Amino acid sequence: MENKEIARILNETADLMEIAADDGFRIRSYRNGASAVEGYPERVEAILKDPSRKVTDIPGIGKGLAFVLEELVARGSCERRDELLAKYPASTLDFLKIQGLGPKSIAMLFEHYRVSTIDELERLCLDQKLRVLPRMGAKLEEKVLRSITQFRKSAGRFLLSFADRTARELTAYLMEGGGIESVTPAGSLRRGRETAGDLDLLVTGRGAGEALERFVNHPGVAEVLGHGENKASARFGHEGLQVDVRALPAGSHGAALQYFTGSKEHNIALRNRAVRMGFKLSEYGLFRIADESKVAGETEEGVYEALGLRWIPPELRENQGEIEAAEAGTLPRLVELSDIRGDVHMHTTETDGRASLEEMAHEARAHGYQYIAITDHSKVMAMMNGLDETRVVAFAKRVREINSGIAPEGDREDLGIRVFSGLECDILKDGTLDIAWDALAELDWVIGSVHSHMNMEAPEMTDRLLRALECPHLRILGHPTGRLLLHRDPFPFDFERVAAEAVKRGVLFEINASPERLDLNATLARTAKALGGKFVISTDAHHPKHLANMRYGVAMARRAWLGPEDVLNTRTADGFAEAIRRN
Residues 313 and 265 sit within 8 Å (Cβ to Cβ): no
Task: Give domain limits for the chain.
Answer: 3-154, 158-248, 254-328, 337-379+418-582
Using alpha carbons, select from 346, 352, 371 the residue that is nearest to residue 512: 346
406-415 confidence digits (pLDDT tens): 655 444 457 8
- Summarize pLDDT for 313-329 with one digit per residue, the tens: 999 999 999 999 999 99
pLDDT number for residue 406: 61
What are the two backbone dihedrals, phi and then psi, of residue 233, each rounded to the nearest 5 degrees?
-130, 140
Which of 3.40.50.300, 1.10.760.10, 1.10.357.10, 3.30.460.10 would CATH assign to domain 158-248? 3.30.460.10
pLDDT of residue 408: 52
CA distance 174 to 121: 44
| Alpha carbon 434 to chain centroid, angstroms | 26
pLDDT at residue 141 greater than cutoff 60: yes
User: pLDDT band at 5, cuts 50/70/90?
Assistant: confident
Model pLDDT for residues 509-545, shown as the tens digit of each residue: 999 999 999 999 999 999 999 999 999 999 999 999 9
* Neighbour tally for 15: CB within 10 Å: 21
pLDDT digits (tens, 9 = 90+) for 348-377: 999 989 899 999 999 999 999 999 999 999
Distance (Å, whole) CA 370 – CA 388? 28
**Would the CATH topology of 3-154 be identical to that of 158-248?**
no
Task: Name the DSSP class of 535.
Answer: E
**Res. 147 pLDDT band, cuts 50 70 90:** confident
**Max Cα-Cα span within the chain:** 80
Which has the higher per-residue pLDDT, 242 or 24?
242
The model's pLDDT over 83-94, given as tens digits with 9 standing for 90+, comes to 998 888 878 888
Over residues 420-432, the pLDDT tens digits come to 999 999 999 999 9
Residue 19's identity, in one-letter code, is I
**441 has pLDDT over 80:** yes
Instruction: Give the angle 410-416-418 at the CA atoms, nearest 5°.
Output: 90
Residue 582's pLDDT is 63
Cα–Cα distance between 521 and 517 in angstroms, integer? 9
CB atoms within 10 A of CB 282: 15
pLDDT confidence tier of residue 41, bands split at 50, 70 and 90: confident
Radius of gyration (Cα) for the chain, nearest Å?
26
Superfamily (CATH H level) for 337-379+418-582? Metal-dependent hydrolases (3.20.20.140)
Average pLDDT over residues 150-161: 84
pLDDT for 397 beyond 50? yes
Does the domain at 254-328 match CATH 3.30.420.110? Answer given as no
- Contact by Cβ (8 Å): 70, 79: no
Dist CA 539 CA 550 (whole Å): 6
Task: Give kind and range of the element (H or E) at residue 371.
Answer: strand 371-377
Model confidence at 250, in pLDDT bands (50, 70, 90)?
confident
Q: What is the pLDDT of residue 400?
A: 93
CATH code given to domain 3-154: 1.10.150.110
How many angstroms separate the first and last alpha carbons of the chain? 45
Q: Is the pLDDT of residue 137 over 90?
A: no
